[in-house]
Amino acid sequence: MTQQNVVVSDTKSGVSLSVFPTASQKPPGGGYISIPRRRILKNLEINGGQRINAWVESMRASSPTHLKSTTPSLPEEHNSWILRHPSALDMFDQIIEASNGKQIVMFLDYDGTLSPIVEDPDRAFMSDSMRKTVRKVARCFPTAIVTGRCKDKVYNFVRLAELYYAGSHGMDIKGPTRSSKYNKDGKAETVLFQAASDFLPMIDEVYQQLVDKTKPTSGAMVENNKFCLSVHFRCVDEKKWSELARQVKSVLKDYPKLRLTQGRKVLEIRPTIKWDKGKALEFLLESLGLANCSDVFPVYIGDDRSDEDAFKKLKDRGQGFGILVSKFPKDTSASYSLQEPNEVMRFLQRLVEWKHVSLGARSRV
Ligand SMILES: O=P(O)(O)OC[C@H]1O[C@H](O[C@H]2O[C@H](CO)[C@@H](O)[C@H](O)[C@H]2O)[C@H](O)[C@@H](O)[C@@H]1O
Protein backbone atom coordinates (compact mmCIF):
# COMPACT_ATOMS: atom_id res chain seq x y z
CA MET A 1 0.00 0.00 0.00
CA THR A 2 2.80 2.42 0.85
CA GLN A 3 4.22 2.25 -2.67
CA GLN A 4 0.97 2.72 -4.52
CA ASN A 5 -1.74 5.15 -5.53
CA VAL A 6 -5.16 4.91 -3.95
CA VAL A 7 -8.44 6.16 -5.32
CA VAL A 8 -11.63 6.52 -3.36
CA SER A 9 -14.94 7.50 -4.83
CA ASP A 10 -17.03 9.65 -2.58
CA THR A 11 -20.47 8.69 -3.84
CA LYS A 12 -22.20 11.61 -2.09
CA SER A 13 -20.10 14.34 -3.64
CA GLY A 14 -19.22 12.37 -6.79
CA VAL A 15 -15.56 13.33 -6.29
CA SER A 16 -12.68 10.88 -6.74
CA LEU A 17 -9.79 11.44 -4.37
CA SER A 18 -6.39 9.94 -5.02
CA VAL A 19 -3.30 9.76 -2.87
CA PHE A 20 0.23 9.53 -4.16
CA PRO A 21 2.89 8.69 -1.56
CA THR A 22 5.62 10.65 -3.36
CA ALA A 23 5.59 13.39 -5.94
CA SER A 24 7.58 11.25 -8.37
CA GLN A 25 4.78 8.69 -8.46
CA LYS A 26 2.22 11.26 -9.46
CA PRO A 27 1.34 10.75 -13.12
CA PRO A 28 1.24 13.62 -15.60
CA GLY A 29 -1.85 15.80 -15.37
CA GLY A 30 -2.17 15.01 -11.59
CA GLY A 31 -4.50 17.24 -9.54
CA TYR A 32 -4.78 14.91 -6.55
CA ILE A 33 -5.71 15.68 -2.96
CA SER A 34 -4.24 13.98 0.12
CA ILE A 35 -6.69 12.44 2.60
CA PRO A 36 -6.08 10.34 5.73
CA ARG A 37 -5.27 6.71 4.89
CA ARG A 38 -7.64 5.27 7.54
CA ARG A 39 -10.58 6.92 5.80
CA ILE A 40 -9.47 5.55 2.43
CA LEU A 41 -9.28 1.98 3.67
CA LYS A 42 -12.70 2.23 5.29
CA ASN A 43 -14.30 3.41 2.06
CA LEU A 44 -12.60 0.69 0.01
CA GLU A 45 -13.96 -1.99 2.31
CA ILE A 46 -17.48 -0.63 2.04
CA ASN A 47 -17.42 -0.56 -1.74
CA GLY A 48 -15.41 -3.76 -2.20
CA GLY A 49 -17.95 -6.58 -1.62
CA GLN A 50 -20.65 -5.25 -3.92
CA ARG A 51 -18.30 -4.67 -6.79
CA ILE A 52 -16.86 -8.21 -6.70
CA ASN A 53 -20.32 -9.67 -7.30
CA ALA A 54 -20.84 -7.28 -10.18
CA TRP A 55 -17.50 -8.33 -11.67
CA VAL A 56 -18.34 -12.02 -11.44
CA GLU A 57 -21.78 -11.44 -12.98
CA SER A 58 -20.09 -9.60 -15.80
CA MET A 59 -17.53 -12.42 -16.23
CA ARG A 60 -20.43 -14.85 -16.56
CA ALA A 61 -22.30 -12.62 -18.99
CA SER A 62 -19.26 -12.36 -21.23
CA SER A 63 -19.11 -16.13 -21.65
CA PRO A 64 -21.22 -17.34 -24.60
CA THR A 65 -21.08 -20.99 -23.47
CA HIS A 66 -22.48 -19.97 -20.11
CA LEU A 67 -25.22 -18.01 -21.87
CA LYS A 68 -26.00 -21.07 -23.95
CA SER A 69 -26.29 -23.47 -21.04
CA THR A 70 -28.43 -21.25 -18.81
CA THR A 71 -30.47 -19.16 -21.24
CA PRO A 72 -30.56 -21.00 -24.54
CA SER A 73 -31.20 -18.47 -27.28
CA LEU A 74 -34.63 -19.22 -28.64
CA PRO A 75 -34.87 -19.86 -32.38
CA GLU A 76 -37.09 -16.76 -32.75
CA GLU A 77 -34.58 -14.67 -30.83
CA HIS A 78 -31.79 -15.96 -33.05
CA ASN A 79 -33.83 -15.39 -36.21
CA SER A 80 -34.71 -11.85 -35.25
CA TRP A 81 -31.03 -11.14 -34.48
CA ILE A 82 -29.98 -12.56 -37.86
CA LEU A 83 -32.57 -10.37 -39.55
CA ARG A 84 -30.94 -7.34 -37.93
CA HIS A 85 -27.37 -8.60 -38.49
CA PRO A 86 -27.51 -10.80 -41.60
CA SER A 87 -24.62 -12.97 -42.69
CA ALA A 88 -22.00 -10.94 -44.59
CA LEU A 89 -21.69 -13.96 -46.92
CA ASP A 90 -25.40 -13.94 -47.76
CA MET A 91 -25.30 -10.17 -48.22
CA PHE A 92 -22.08 -10.13 -50.21
CA ASP A 93 -23.59 -8.66 -53.40
CA GLN A 94 -25.36 -5.88 -51.49
CA ILE A 95 -22.14 -5.07 -49.62
CA ILE A 96 -20.21 -4.81 -52.89
CA GLU A 97 -22.92 -2.62 -54.38
CA ALA A 98 -22.70 -0.26 -51.37
CA SER A 99 -18.92 0.00 -51.84
CA ASN A 100 -19.27 0.88 -55.52
CA GLY A 101 -16.70 3.51 -56.58
CA LYS A 102 -15.23 3.71 -53.08
CA GLN A 103 -11.84 2.73 -51.65
CA ILE A 104 -12.32 -0.33 -49.44
CA VAL A 105 -10.03 -0.37 -46.38
CA MET A 106 -9.90 -3.58 -44.32
CA PHE A 107 -9.56 -3.71 -40.53
CA LEU A 108 -9.20 -7.17 -39.00
CA ASP A 109 -9.21 -8.17 -35.36
CA TYR A 110 -6.98 -11.17 -34.57
CA ASP A 111 -8.23 -13.57 -31.84
CA GLY A 112 -11.57 -15.16 -32.65
CA THR A 113 -11.55 -13.45 -36.07
CA LEU A 114 -8.45 -14.65 -37.93
CA SER A 115 -7.59 -17.42 -35.47
CA PRO A 116 -9.96 -19.71 -33.59
CA ILE A 117 -10.26 -19.24 -29.83
CA VAL A 118 -8.03 -21.74 -27.99
CA GLU A 119 -7.25 -22.34 -24.32
CA ASP A 120 -3.61 -21.26 -24.46
CA PRO A 121 -3.25 -17.65 -25.73
CA ASP A 122 0.35 -18.38 -26.74
CA ARG A 123 -0.86 -21.04 -29.19
CA ALA A 124 -3.55 -19.03 -30.99
CA PHE A 125 -2.02 -19.74 -34.40
CA MET A 126 -3.47 -18.60 -37.65
CA SER A 127 -3.82 -21.22 -40.40
CA ASP A 128 -1.62 -21.02 -43.50
CA SER A 129 -4.70 -20.69 -45.66
CA MET A 130 -5.89 -17.72 -43.59
CA ARG A 131 -2.43 -16.14 -43.90
CA LYS A 132 -2.46 -16.60 -47.70
CA THR A 133 -5.93 -15.08 -47.85
CA VAL A 134 -4.96 -12.04 -45.73
CA ARG A 135 -1.88 -11.55 -47.92
CA LYS A 136 -4.10 -11.47 -51.00
CA VAL A 137 -6.50 -9.07 -49.29
CA ALA A 138 -3.59 -6.72 -48.53
CA ARG A 139 -2.64 -6.73 -52.23
CA CYS A 140 -6.15 -5.53 -53.09
CA PHE A 141 -6.89 -3.07 -50.26
CA PRO A 142 -5.03 -1.25 -47.48
CA THR A 143 -5.28 -3.71 -44.57
CA ALA A 144 -4.72 -3.41 -40.83
CA ILE A 145 -4.73 -5.84 -37.92
CA VAL A 146 -6.34 -4.21 -34.88
CA THR A 147 -5.91 -6.21 -31.68
CA GLY A 148 -5.75 -6.22 -27.90
CA ARG A 149 -2.50 -8.17 -28.20
CA CYS A 150 0.98 -6.74 -28.01
CA LYS A 151 1.85 -5.59 -31.54
CA ASP A 152 5.03 -7.68 -31.79
CA LYS A 153 3.29 -10.81 -30.55
CA VAL A 154 0.49 -10.51 -33.09
CA TYR A 155 3.09 -9.84 -35.78
CA ASN A 156 4.74 -13.16 -34.88
CA PHE A 157 1.40 -14.90 -35.45
CA VAL A 158 0.49 -13.09 -38.69
CA ARG A 159 3.97 -12.59 -40.23
CA LEU A 160 2.87 -10.32 -43.06
CA ALA A 161 5.07 -7.24 -43.41
CA GLU A 162 2.72 -5.50 -45.84
CA LEU A 163 0.04 -4.84 -43.20
CA TYR A 164 -0.60 -2.06 -40.70
CA TYR A 165 -0.63 -3.28 -37.09
CA ALA A 166 -2.50 -1.62 -34.22
CA GLY A 167 -1.62 -3.53 -31.03
CA SER A 168 -2.61 -3.01 -27.37
CA HIS A 169 -6.20 -2.10 -28.34
CA GLY A 170 -4.89 0.42 -30.86
CA MET A 171 -2.45 2.13 -28.47
CA ASP A 172 0.60 0.99 -30.47
CA ILE A 173 0.41 1.52 -34.23
CA LYS A 174 2.97 0.68 -36.89
CA GLY A 175 2.85 0.93 -40.66
CA PRO A 176 3.91 -1.70 -43.21
CA THR A 177 7.60 -2.61 -43.23
CA ARG A 178 7.37 -3.90 -46.78
CA SER A 179 6.29 -1.44 -49.41
CA SER A 180 3.04 -2.12 -51.16
CA LYS A 181 1.05 -0.11 -53.63
CA TYR A 182 -0.61 1.57 -50.60
CA ASN A 183 2.68 2.32 -48.92
CA LYS A 184 5.27 2.99 -51.62
CA ASP A 185 8.00 4.07 -49.18
CA GLY A 186 7.41 1.56 -46.37
CA LYS A 187 10.34 1.85 -43.97
CA ALA A 188 11.40 -0.81 -41.51
CA GLU A 189 9.91 -0.52 -38.02
CA THR A 190 8.32 2.92 -38.51
CA VAL A 191 6.31 3.49 -35.36
CA LEU A 192 3.39 5.63 -36.35
CA PHE A 193 1.84 6.21 -32.97
CA GLN A 194 2.03 5.18 -29.32
CA ALA A 195 -0.84 6.65 -27.35
CA ALA A 196 0.14 5.52 -23.84
CA SER A 197 3.95 5.56 -23.58
CA ASP A 198 3.80 7.25 -20.13
CA PHE A 199 2.05 4.16 -18.80
CA LEU A 200 4.75 1.63 -19.65
CA PRO A 201 6.41 1.55 -16.16
CA MET A 202 3.01 1.34 -14.46
CA ILE A 203 1.85 -1.49 -16.72
CA ASP A 204 5.04 -3.47 -16.01
CA GLU A 205 4.63 -2.91 -12.26
CA VAL A 206 0.98 -4.01 -12.31
CA TYR A 207 1.84 -7.02 -14.50
CA GLN A 208 4.29 -8.29 -11.87
CA GLN A 209 1.79 -7.71 -9.06
CA LEU A 210 -0.97 -9.51 -10.94
CA VAL A 211 1.30 -12.47 -11.67
CA ASP A 212 2.15 -12.75 -7.96
CA LYS A 213 -1.40 -12.17 -6.71
CA THR A 214 -3.10 -14.63 -9.09
CA LYS A 215 -0.54 -17.42 -8.62
CA PRO A 216 -2.72 -19.34 -6.13
CA THR A 217 -5.62 -19.48 -8.61
CA SER A 218 -5.18 -22.53 -10.75
CA GLY A 219 -5.58 -21.88 -14.48
CA ALA A 220 -5.30 -18.07 -14.24
CA MET A 221 -2.83 -16.49 -16.61
CA VAL A 222 -1.62 -12.91 -16.92
CA GLU A 223 -0.51 -11.71 -20.35
CA ASN A 224 1.58 -8.58 -20.85
CA ASN A 225 0.31 -6.81 -23.95
CA LYS A 226 2.80 -3.93 -23.51
CA PHE A 227 0.37 -1.00 -23.03
CA CYS A 228 -2.35 -3.15 -21.47
CA LEU A 229 -2.70 -6.44 -19.62
CA SER A 230 -4.97 -9.46 -19.86
CA VAL A 231 -5.95 -11.74 -17.01
CA HIS A 232 -7.26 -14.93 -18.60
CA PHE A 233 -9.87 -17.04 -16.82
CA ARG A 234 -10.79 -19.49 -19.62
CA CYS A 235 -9.03 -22.28 -17.67
CA VAL A 236 -10.16 -21.19 -14.21
CA ASP A 237 -12.94 -23.18 -12.54
CA GLU A 238 -16.06 -20.98 -12.40
CA LYS A 239 -16.18 -21.48 -8.62
CA LYS A 240 -12.87 -19.61 -8.43
CA TRP A 241 -13.91 -16.62 -10.54
CA SER A 242 -14.80 -14.47 -7.52
CA GLU A 243 -11.44 -15.34 -5.91
CA LEU A 244 -9.70 -14.19 -9.11
CA ALA A 245 -11.81 -11.03 -9.32
CA ARG A 246 -10.87 -10.22 -5.74
CA GLN A 247 -7.15 -10.72 -6.47
CA VAL A 248 -7.29 -8.47 -9.53
CA LYS A 249 -9.31 -5.86 -7.74
CA SER A 250 -6.90 -5.83 -4.81
CA VAL A 251 -4.14 -4.81 -7.21
CA LEU A 252 -6.15 -2.36 -9.30
CA LYS A 253 -7.60 -0.43 -6.38
CA ASP A 254 -4.22 1.22 -6.06
CA TYR A 255 -4.07 2.29 -9.71
CA PRO A 256 -6.85 4.77 -10.47
CA LYS A 257 -5.23 5.56 -13.80
CA LEU A 258 -5.98 2.06 -15.06
CA ARG A 259 -9.40 0.75 -16.03
CA LEU A 260 -10.84 -2.69 -16.41
CA THR A 261 -12.76 -3.98 -19.41
CA GLN A 262 -13.75 -7.49 -20.41
CA GLY A 263 -13.34 -9.69 -23.41
CA ARG A 264 -13.96 -13.37 -24.05
CA LYS A 265 -13.04 -15.00 -20.74
CA VAL A 266 -10.46 -12.32 -20.14
CA LEU A 267 -10.21 -9.28 -17.85
CA GLU A 268 -8.43 -6.50 -19.71
CA ILE A 269 -6.57 -3.75 -17.87
CA ARG A 270 -5.68 -0.60 -19.73
CA PRO A 271 -4.87 3.09 -19.19
CA THR A 272 -7.84 5.41 -18.68
CA ILE A 273 -6.99 7.39 -21.78
CA LYS A 274 -9.52 8.21 -24.46
CA TRP A 275 -8.14 5.80 -26.96
CA ASP A 276 -9.63 2.58 -28.28
CA LYS A 277 -9.94 0.52 -31.47
CA GLY A 278 -12.34 3.13 -32.92
CA LYS A 279 -9.77 5.89 -32.47
CA ALA A 280 -7.11 3.62 -33.97
CA LEU A 281 -9.32 3.05 -37.02
CA GLU A 282 -9.70 6.81 -37.47
CA PHE A 283 -5.95 7.33 -37.01
CA LEU A 284 -5.18 4.73 -39.67
CA LEU A 285 -7.62 6.29 -42.12
CA GLU A 286 -5.88 9.62 -41.53
CA SER A 287 -2.44 8.02 -42.10
CA LEU A 288 -3.73 6.70 -45.40
CA GLY A 289 -4.98 10.18 -46.31
CA LEU A 290 -8.54 8.87 -46.42
CA ALA A 291 -10.06 10.32 -43.24
CA ASN A 292 -11.84 13.19 -44.95
CA CYS A 293 -12.81 11.41 -48.15
CA SER A 294 -16.43 10.68 -48.86
CA ASP A 295 -15.42 7.81 -51.12
CA VAL A 296 -13.79 5.57 -48.51
CA PHE A 297 -15.42 2.30 -47.44
CA PRO A 298 -13.89 0.87 -44.25
CA VAL A 299 -14.82 -2.70 -43.31
CA TYR A 300 -14.04 -3.82 -39.74
CA ILE A 301 -14.32 -7.49 -38.75
CA GLY A 302 -14.10 -8.46 -35.06
CA ASP A 303 -15.56 -10.76 -32.43
CA ASP A 304 -15.19 -9.07 -29.08
CA ARG A 305 -16.44 -6.22 -26.92
CA SER A 306 -13.43 -4.01 -27.65
CA ASP A 307 -14.31 -4.22 -31.37
CA GLU A 308 -17.59 -2.47 -30.61
CA ASP A 309 -15.71 0.86 -30.36
CA ALA A 310 -14.69 0.43 -34.00
CA PHE A 311 -18.16 -0.72 -35.13
CA LYS A 312 -19.64 2.33 -33.44
CA LYS A 313 -17.09 4.65 -35.02
CA LEU A 314 -18.11 3.40 -38.48
CA LYS A 315 -21.78 3.91 -37.64
CA ASP A 316 -21.07 7.45 -36.42
CA ARG A 317 -19.06 8.23 -39.56
CA GLY A 318 -21.79 6.73 -41.73
CA GLN A 319 -19.11 4.97 -43.77
CA GLY A 320 -18.52 1.28 -44.41
CA PHE A 321 -19.73 -1.18 -41.78
CA GLY A 322 -18.77 -3.63 -39.08
CA ILE A 323 -19.05 -7.41 -39.16
CA LEU A 324 -19.38 -9.23 -35.83
CA VAL A 325 -17.96 -12.75 -35.66
CA SER A 326 -20.31 -14.65 -33.37
CA LYS A 327 -22.45 -17.77 -33.27
CA PHE A 328 -24.68 -16.20 -30.62
CA PRO A 329 -26.93 -13.16 -30.65
CA LYS A 330 -25.07 -10.28 -28.97
CA ASP A 331 -25.70 -6.57 -28.56
CA THR A 332 -23.63 -4.99 -31.29
CA SER A 333 -23.18 -1.92 -33.46
CA ALA A 334 -22.02 -4.15 -36.33
CA SER A 335 -24.29 -4.35 -39.35
CA TYR A 336 -23.51 -7.90 -40.42
CA SER A 337 -22.36 -11.15 -38.88
CA LEU A 338 -20.17 -14.16 -39.61
CA GLN A 339 -20.13 -17.23 -37.40
CA GLU A 340 -16.45 -18.12 -37.08
CA PRO A 341 -12.96 -17.54 -38.54
CA ASN A 342 -13.63 -20.01 -41.38
CA GLU A 343 -16.51 -17.83 -42.54
CA VAL A 344 -14.26 -14.77 -42.20
CA MET A 345 -11.80 -16.49 -44.56
CA ARG A 346 -14.56 -17.26 -47.09
CA PHE A 347 -15.75 -13.65 -46.97
CA LEU A 348 -12.19 -12.37 -47.51
CA GLN A 349 -11.68 -14.82 -50.40
CA ARG A 350 -14.85 -13.57 -52.05
CA LEU A 351 -13.66 -9.99 -51.70
CA VAL A 352 -10.36 -10.87 -53.39
CA GLU A 353 -12.14 -12.77 -56.21
CA TRP A 354 -14.53 -9.87 -56.75
CA LYS A 355 -11.62 -7.39 -56.86
CA HIS A 356 -9.75 -9.51 -59.45
CA VAL A 357 -12.87 -9.85 -61.60
CA SER A 358 -13.60 -6.12 -61.42
CA LEU A 359 -9.97 -5.22 -62.26
CA GLY A 360 -10.06 -7.66 -65.20
CA ALA A 361 -13.32 -6.15 -66.44
CA ARG A 362 -11.86 -2.64 -66.20
CA SER A 363 -8.68 -3.57 -68.10
CA ARG A 364 -10.79 -5.03 -70.92
CA VAL A 365 -12.74 -1.76 -71.34
O1 LIG B 1 -8.51 -7.75 -29.74
P2 LIG B 1 -8.25 -9.22 -29.82
O3 LIG B 1 -7.21 -9.56 -30.85
O4 LIG B 1 -9.52 -10.02 -30.01
O5 LIG B 1 -7.66 -9.56 -28.39
C6 LIG B 1 -8.48 -9.80 -27.27
C7 LIG B 1 -7.81 -10.82 -26.38
O8 LIG B 1 -7.44 -11.89 -27.27
C9 LIG B 1 -6.66 -12.94 -26.71
O10 LIG B 1 -7.47 -13.68 -25.82
C11 LIG B 1 -8.53 -14.37 -26.46
O12 LIG B 1 -7.98 -15.42 -27.30
C13 LIG B 1 -7.24 -16.43 -26.58
C14 LIG B 1 -6.66 -17.39 -27.62
O15 LIG B 1 -7.64 -17.94 -28.43
C16 LIG B 1 -8.18 -17.13 -25.58
O17 LIG B 1 -7.46 -18.12 -24.85
C18 LIG B 1 -8.77 -16.10 -24.63
O19 LIG B 1 -9.72 -16.70 -23.77
C20 LIG B 1 -9.46 -14.97 -25.42
O21 LIG B 1 -9.92 -13.94 -24.56
C22 LIG B 1 -5.44 -12.40 -26.07
O23 LIG B 1 -4.71 -13.45 -25.49
C24 LIG B 1 -5.76 -11.32 -25.04
O25 LIG B 1 -4.58 -10.77 -24.52
C26 LIG B 1 -6.56 -10.22 -25.72
O27 LIG B 1 -6.94 -9.27 -24.74
pLDDT in tens, 74-112: 788 889 999 999 999 999 999 999 999 999 999 999 999
Within a domain: residue 121?
yes
Q: Is the CB of 306 under 6 A from ligand 1?
A: yes
Mean pLDDT within 31-39: 32
Say whether both 64 and 112 belong to one domain. no
Say whether both 181 and 303 belong to one domain. yes
Within a domain: residue 73?
no
Say whether both 42 and 185 belong to one domain. no
Q: Is the CB of 261 under 6 A from ligand 1?
A: no
Say whether both 230 and 149 belong to one domain. no
Ligand 1: which of 59, 107, 109, 111 to mutate, most ligand atoms within 8 Å of CB? Answer: 111
With both helix axes pointing from N to C terminus, report the angle between 308-317 and 277-287 in degrees, rounded to the nearest 10: 50
| Interface predicted TM-score of the whole assembly (ipTM), two decimals | 0.98
Specify the CATH number for the domain of residue 34.
Answer: 3.30.70.1020
Q: What is the distance in A from the centroid of ligand 1 to the CA of 264?
A: 7
- As a residue count, the chain comes to 365
Q: What is the pLDDT of residues 144-173, one digit of tens each?
A: 999 999 999 999 999 999 999 999 999 999
Amino acid identity, position 265: K
Q: How far is CA 25 from CA 9, 141, 160, 258, 302, in A?
A: 20, 45, 40, 14, 37
Q: Is the CB of 147 under 6 A from ligand 1?
A: yes
Say whether both 234 and 295 belong to one domain. no
CA 169 to ligand 1: nearest atom: 1
Task: Report pLDDT for 64.
Answer: 59
CA 234 to ligand 1: nearest atom: 19
- pLDDT of 4 higher than 60: no
Task: Report pLDDT for 106.
Answer: 98
Q: Is the CB of 102 under 6 A from ligand 1?
A: no
Say whether both 166 and 306 belong to one domain. yes
The total number of structural domains in the chain stands at 2
Domain end, chosen from 271, 299, 319, is at 271
Confidence label for 2 from pLDDT (cuts 50, 70 and 90): very low
Q: Is the CB of 309 under 6 A from ligand 1?
A: no
Mean pLDDT within 25-34: 29
Q: What is the chain's Cα-based Rg?
A: 22
Task: Report pLDDT for 9.
Answer: 30
Say whether both 32 and 180 belong to one domain. no
Average pLDDT, the chain: 84
- pLDDT of 39 higher than 80: no
Say whether both 292 and 168 belong to one domain. yes
CA 117 to ligand 1: nearest atom: 15
Report the alpha-carbon distance of residue 353 to residue 346 in Å, rounded: 10
Domain end, chosen from 232, 250, 271, is at 271
Task: Report pLDDT for 179.
Answer: 65
Domain end, chosen from 207, 236, 271, is at 271
Mean pLDDT within 291-318: 96
Q: What is the distance in A from the centroid of ligand 1 to the CA of 141?
A: 26
Amino acid identity, position 170: G
Say whether both 182 and 295 belong to one domain. yes
Task: Report pLDDT for 269.
Answer: 98
Task: Report pLDDT for 61.
Answer: 79
DSSP class per residue in 186-224: --TT-EEEETTGGGHHHHHHHHHHHHHHHTTSTT-EEEE
Within a domain: residue 1?
no
Specify the CATH number for the domain of residue 292.
Answer: 3.40.50.1000
Say whether both 24 and 50 belong to one domain. yes
Within a domain: residue 132?
yes
Confidence label for 37 from pLDDT (cuts 50, 70 and 90): very low
Pairing of strands 266-271, 229-232: antiparallel
Say whether both 285 and 176 belong to one domain. yes
In the chain, the percentage of residues whose pLDDT exceeds 70 is 79
- pLDDT of 320 higher than 80: yes
Q: Is the CB of 149 under 6 A from ligand 1?
A: yes
Mean pLDDT within 242-268: 96
Say whether both 215 and 180 belong to one domain. no
- pLDDT of 47 higher than 60: no
Q: What is the distance in A from the centroid of ligand 1 to the CA of 158?
A: 15
Q: Is the CB of 230 under 6 A from ligand 1?
A: yes
- Per the model's pLDDT, the better-predicted residue between 243 and 178 turns out to be 243
- pLDDT of 365 higher than 50: yes
CA 232 to ligand 1: nearest atom: 19
Domain span including residue 336: 78-195+275-364
- pLDDT of 65 higher than 60: no
Residues in contact with 104: Cβ distance below 8 Å, sequence separation at least 6, in sequence order? 140, 141, 297, 298, 299, 320, 351
Within a domain: residue 340?
yes
